[in-house]
Amino acid sequence: MLHHARVSTGPLTGRLRVPGDKSISHRAVLFAAMAEGTSELTGVLDSADVRSTLGAVETLGAQVTHERAGDDSLSASVTGWGSAGPVSPISPVECGNSGTTARLLMGALAGWPVVATLVGDESLSRRPMARVIDPLSAMGAEFTSREGCLPVTVQGAVSPVPLDYDSPVASAQVKTAVLLAGLRADGRTVVREPAPSRDHTELMLPHFGVAVGRDEATNAAWVQGPAALSATDVAVPADPSSAAFLVVAALIVPGSAITLDDVALNPTRTGFLRVLHRMGADIDVDVHEGAGAELTGTIVVRHTPALTATVVTVEEIPSLVDEVPILAVAAARAAGVTRFEGVGELRVKESDRLEAIRSALEAMGVDVSVDGDTLEITGRPDAPLASARVDSLGDHRLAMAWSVAGLVSDDEVEVERFEAVDVSYPGFRDALLLLGAG
């Protein structure tokens, strides 16, 4: 599908709630599937990625019913496999485009005496799985893979051993996989990371009755096994990563003023807001008191004509790893050179996002350089971006970032394979139209 994002005929104005958080939705569904009893989940993101997790846990023996509850949202009832454990499925477990589904499942299966083969689409089948296979193998699970990529067959360990793991990457998917396997081991499983990654797992497991130890000084999290999950109810807040596209759109389109409600404001996810504040963005964040473990609140954004460049450091990257493409669009409109340091992980996301950012923004007339793991963008606040035809590469975040760029182009940006947005934000185009984008 070809999407034309035109220079906006008017400002973006109004108020909305973006759909449920993808990371929290995956975890709510998977933890409910692992738990004893029936969990009621609301506000679950209805997107291709979360449907992959819903389908996968059903294949593995959880009972799932769900119904649409408004745009892009599901209410789901999940009865977990609990102490009976997952079943060995006859057919492969389809993970689609979703790295979170594949990597978290490997951890959830690693401590049960089952055999399962995980498969994914072309993009997912290129992404590295050794980062989870290695520590889970050290815990006793056995894997066969196509050179560290999907398809991966996991044979879980009958008696998994606990692990003390220094992860070479700051990755919430790796951390979660190891902790989930650790629930079945006899003793303490610890994961330490080079920088703090998103902590939804640490916040949600206690809600399912499992204590999680943490040490912020060493970016460590641990569980004491064996430990079993019990069913609970989860209300999923709106996704800050989806909100980020609308936030940047409102910042760069003259006259805009929008309000986004009930957004998850977990600090491990809101690095993009801190970076935009440093760039001078007119954004107010109102954190709601007394919500659950996950902070939530309202974001108010107004057009900011004088954005300025900044430096994004390697320590900050995990807190905004999915927002680099849209921050790159903001940087293209900011005075000066914005530098993103230590963004090598972008090469192994749904596409090679580093190369994709360079080629798409260059096609729009922006000066971009990539040197090792450093990305630099020279912004021009006054000149519109050049019209261009760019390919999403089937990557949802690129499809949305280039659509936003089109709102400040001299005519239009055509986005090929726009339908990739279905992975995390199927209603993205409708949201832009609702807010008044041309």
Q: Which residues are catalytic?
A: 322
The Cα 376–Cα 420 span in angstroms is 26
Taking every pair of Cα atoms in the chain, the longest distance, rounded to a whole number of angstroms, is 63
Of residues 315 and 345, the one with the C-beta less far from ligand S3P: 345
CB nearer ligand S3P, residue 395 or residue 414: 395
- For residue 299, how many C-alpha atoms fall within 13 Å in the half-sphere facing its CB? 33
Q: Which is nearer to ligand S3P, 26 or 429 (CB)?
A: 26
Instruction: Determine, following the binding rule CB under 6 A, whether residue 8 of this chain makes contact with ligand S3P.
Output: no
State the minimum distance, in angstroms, from the CB of residue 359 to ligand S3P: 21
How are strands ordered across the β-sheet holding 63-68?
Answer: 63-68, 73-79, 38-45, 234-235
Beta carbons of 222 and 257 less than 8 angstroms apart: no
Fill in the per-residue mask, 304 to 323: x = in contact with ligand S3P (CB under 6 A), - = not in contact. -----------------xx-
What is the rounded distance in angstroms from the CA atom of residue 279 to the CA atom of residue 270?
Answer: 15
Cis preceding linkage at 226, omega within 30: yes
- Kindly tell me which of 318 and 379 has the beta carbon lying closer to ligand S3P: 318
* CA nearest to 376, candidates 409, 343, 410: 343
- Region of 157-165, 167-175, 273-281, 326-334 interacting with ligand S3P (CB under 6 A): 167-175
| # residues contacting ligand S3P (CB under 6 A) | 11
- Alpha carbons 137 and 154: distance in angstroms, whole number: 10
Q: Does residue 32 touch ligand S3P according to CB under 6 A?
A: no
The interface mask with ligand S3P, positions 320-339, x = CB under 6 A, is: -xx-----------------
53 binds ligand S3P (CB under 6 A): no
CA distance 293 to 81: 25
CB of 275 to ligand S3P, least distance (A): 16
Please, which of residues 228-247 interact with ligand S3P by CB under 6 A? Answer: none
33, 57 Cβ separation under 8 angstroms: yes
Tell me, letter by letter, the H, E, C secondary structure of 142-169: EEEEECCEEEEEEECCCCCCCCEEECCC
Q: What is the DSSP string of 362-389?
A: HHTT-EEEEETTEEEEEE-SSSPBPPEE
CB nearer to ligand S3P: give 21 or 282.
21
CB 424 to ligand S3P: min, Å: 8
- The three-class DSSP label of residue 117 is strand
Instruction: State the minimum distance, in angstroms, from the CB of residue 132 to ligand S3P.
Output: 9
User: How far is it, in rounded angstroms, from Cα 95 to Cα 267?
Assistant: 28
Cα torsion through 239, 244, 246, 248, rounded to 10: 170
Residue placing its CB nearer to ligand S3P in the complex, 3 or 26: 26
Binding test (CB under 6 A) with ligand S3P, winner from 53, 100, 266, 296: 100
Indicate the residue among 169 and 228 with the shorter CB distance to ligand S3P.
169
30 binds ligand S3P (CB under 6 A): no
171 touches ligand S3P (CB under 6 A):
yes
Q: Please identify which residue in 53, 123, 155, 173 interacts with ligand S3P, judged by CB under 6 A.
A: 173
Site for ligand S3P in 268-287 (CB under 6 A): none
Query: For binding to ligand S3P (CB under 6 A), which residues are involved?
Result: 23, 26, 100, 171-173, 197-198, 321-322, 345
